Amino acid sequence: MIAIPAIDLINGSCVRLLKGQFDQQQQYTHSPLQMAKAVEDAGLTHLHLVDLDGARDGKPANLPILQQLATHTELLIDYGGGIRQLEDVAKALDAGAIRVNIGTMLFTRPSWQTECIRRFGADKLIASVDVDRGKVAIKGWQQQTGLTADQAIGGLRQRGWRYVSITDIGRDGTMTGVDPSFYQPFAARYPEIRFIGGGGVASLNDLHGMKGAGLFAAITGKAVFEGNISLEDLAAFNKEDQ
């Protein structure tokens, strides 16, 4: 399993939300490029970039920052937030994303599950299955669907999706620790899918728990910004299995 630091963006600045609530945000002084360079300098290779403006408004708003980070670093960046048109996927890939996270449209327009794979290929896409009280949430986590995570993931598997991010919304941004049992059933049931987990990471122990649950990768954001986990610690964690 690899640990991937996250940068969440609002109005071009690095922020963190509490449980996805836009009225509970904390802003940081680091610029996105400063943070990305620090990630790279620590020896990390991946970055998770979240366009919160896009997630809220339904249209990517921070593609120029994605392009800036992709141009000035060698990081492998996955990008998401506000991807509501097929053209948005293409624009994000053109701006330098290695993969694009898609959530809302996969569950409000199910034909996208097949169309995205056909047009872009499974290696360029990540399905975002964000879970709130057992059900998949969409539109920047502001609206709940009637789908359970298992229903959503089963459908994605049938259509050829290989990467799925699964977020425990109730823990996201809280740094209260993760619940490995939240992830383990999905990793066990769908071994062909590479699961990327997130929500509540507070320490290296949490990352070891997520690794034990069978995840492909884990996302951590606030724990890094708050200094609970250093970037060097993440890099050392990633080298353990090399």
CATH number of the CATH domain containing 126: 3.20.20.70
The pLDDT, as a whole number, for residue 26 is 63
Tens-digit pLDDT profile for residues 112-157: 999 999 999 999 999 999 998 889 988 777 788 889 999 999 999 9
d(CA 214, CA 61): 34
Strands (E) across the chain are located at 2-10, 13-18, 21-27, 46-51, 76-80, 99-102, 125-132, 135-138, 143-148, 163-168, 194-198, 217-220
Per-residue confidence band for 17, with pLDDT thresholds at 50, 70 and 90: low
- Pairing status of strand 99-102 against strand 143-148: unpaired
Per-residue confidence band for 25, with pLDDT thresholds at 50, 70 and 90: low
Q: List active site positions.
A: 8, 130
Give the domain extent around 174: 2-239
Domains identified in the chain, total number:
1
The pLDDT, as a whole number, for residue 134 is 85
